[in-house]
Amino acid sequence: MAGERRPSVAIGITGASGALYATRTLAALLEQGVHVELVISDYGRRLLRDELGDAAAVDQLLPFLTDRYGGGVSAGSINVHSNRDLGATIASGSHGCRGMAIVPCSMKTLAAVAHGLSRNLIERAADVMLKERRTLVLVPRETPMSLPALRNMVTAAEAGAMILPAMPAFYQHPKTIDDLASFLAGKILNALGFEQRLFEPWKGGE
């Protein structure tokens, strides 16, 4: 399948804790044959290595994903952009990206998205999603949260973003941190309009 014909999604990784959420989301999208336009902030790059080790450095990311999640990731494709490149495809609304998730999303990037700053490619691509009325999923992680951060979430939600906090649930009886990451990645896939097989949907009960 040619890259252009795949469903295309932008993923931003910023410097909040939870790099595993990003790698699980990336792998799950790739397994479904999605083309991912990937942008990682400077602190996002640092968090990938701090939390997942040197093997998860950006230039090793595809082998890392294959090693950790299996060869199914080769069904999709990734195009990595510099966060400084405001001339990249996804900086324009004419690019056919169907949606974007920023996972994890730092309070700094949340603030920038809420206020439309567009200073780097992650912020600009997020603003493009809002102006084009496409899906923008923000996965903030911080605790406790300051009043400015809480207000910025409301502002971003009012502008059309979905706030999907990095809050895994426990009704799935997770056994490993990968189970926790899979739950969140499944929620992100659903929010982006994809089916997910990462966790069993709740079937109801007493």
Ligand X SMILES: Cc1cc2nc3c(=O)[nH]c(=O)nc-3n(C[C@H](O)[C@H](O)[C@H](O)COP(=O)(O)O)c2cc1C
The verdict on whether omega for the bond into residue 144 sits within 30 degrees of 0, i.e. cis, is yes
Which residue's structure tokens are 């999605």? Answer: 34
Q: Which residues contact residue 74 at a Cβ distance below 8 angstroms, ignoring those fewer than 6 apart? A: 30, 66
One character per residue 109-128, x = contact with ligand X (rule: CB under 6 A): x-------------------
Shortest spacing between CB 17 and ligand X, in angstroms: 4
Q: How far is the CB of 109 from ligand X (least distance, A)?
A: 4
Cα 23 to Cα 175: distance, rounded to the nearest angstrom: 19
Q: Which of 23, 77, 106, 152 binds ligand X (CB under 6 A)?
A: 106
Q: Which stretch binds ligand X (CB under 6 A): 56-64, 65-73, 102-110, 154-162?
A: 102-110
* Size of the residue set binding ligand X (CB under 6 A): 14
Residues for the chain: how many in total? 206
CA-wise closest residue to 102 among 21, 190, 6: 21
Judged by CB, which is closer to ligand X: 132, or 142? 142
Residue nearest to ligand X (CB): 15
Cα Rg for the chain, rounded, in angstroms?
16
Over the window 141 to 170, marking each residue x when it contacts ligand X by CB under 6 A and - when it does not, the resulting string is xx----------------------------
From first CA to last CA, the distance across the chain in angstroms is 45
Q: Interacting stretch for ligand X, rule CB under 6 A, among 90-98, 103-111, 180-188, 189-197?
A: 103-111
Neighbours of 82 (CB within 10 A): 12
CB of 141 to ligand X, least distance (A): 5
Picking from 147, 138, 88, 80, the residue whose alpha carbon sits closest to that of residue 109 is 138
Q: Of all helices (H) and strands (E), which one includes residue 106?
A: none
Which of these segments, 8-16, 29-37, 167-175, 185-193, binds ligand X (CB under 6 A)? 8-16
Tell which positions 41-60 bind ligand X, by CB under 6 A: 41, 43-44, 50
Residue number with CB closer to ligand X (75 or 162): 162
- DSSP reduced 3-state for 35: strand
Is 16 near ligand X (CB under 6 A)? yes
Which backbone phi and psi does 34 adopt, to 5 degrees? -75, 145
- Which residues would be at the binding site for ligand X (CB under 6 A)? 14-17, 41, 43-44, 50, 106-109, 141-142
